[in-house]
Structure 1
């Protein structure tokens, strides 16, 4: 895919891992203009139906997205002193859990303890 802007072209890969490409382009008068290009990723890359959960002192566990969200809510409720500052800006535990679910893959439970979750695709 190519994006052509004023006699210059910016080549974009067929499948980019990021959701946007940022940069700048020099205009015809010598001015530099910032550009940001939003990409439409292949939707199958973001199908997250199941998660593998790794927790200290427990065997790995496979959960649905809804069960993973419920687990995060329970962990946040049980560990209010461990909630990171960027997560605390959300007023409810449900909103905090949703934010963590969407933006992170690990929650620090203290020294030597952890909770990690990763999206997986299970073969049928």
Structure 2
């Protein structure tokens, strides 16, 4: 449960940073950001393993870079479902995907350094 909360907060922080860097990504409130982070964590928990399994050959050919496109699509889906979060197109969904990837790597390295 603690890990799920950390993932949700990391997703929300990534969306917030992306909205600060790119004005086309709009967030109406902090609650909307947290809701989108929770949706993204939940969607990623259930849908991402299936999508990764289906796209395994493409992922293998692209050395894992196709995972970034899957993450961007999941971000766009969670932004569509969350009220108050607007990501205009797929190109802008790639930006939070890269930021969230970097934040997750930093979070994992901090957790592994402590133990």
Q: What TM-score results when the alignment is normalised by the length of structure 2?
A: 0.31
Q: What TM-score results when the alignment is normalised by the length of structure 1?
A: 0.29
The answer to which structure, 1 or 2, has the higher relative contact order (CA under 8 A, 6+ apart) is: 2
- Considering only CA atoms, is the larger Rg found in Structure 1 or Structure 2? 1
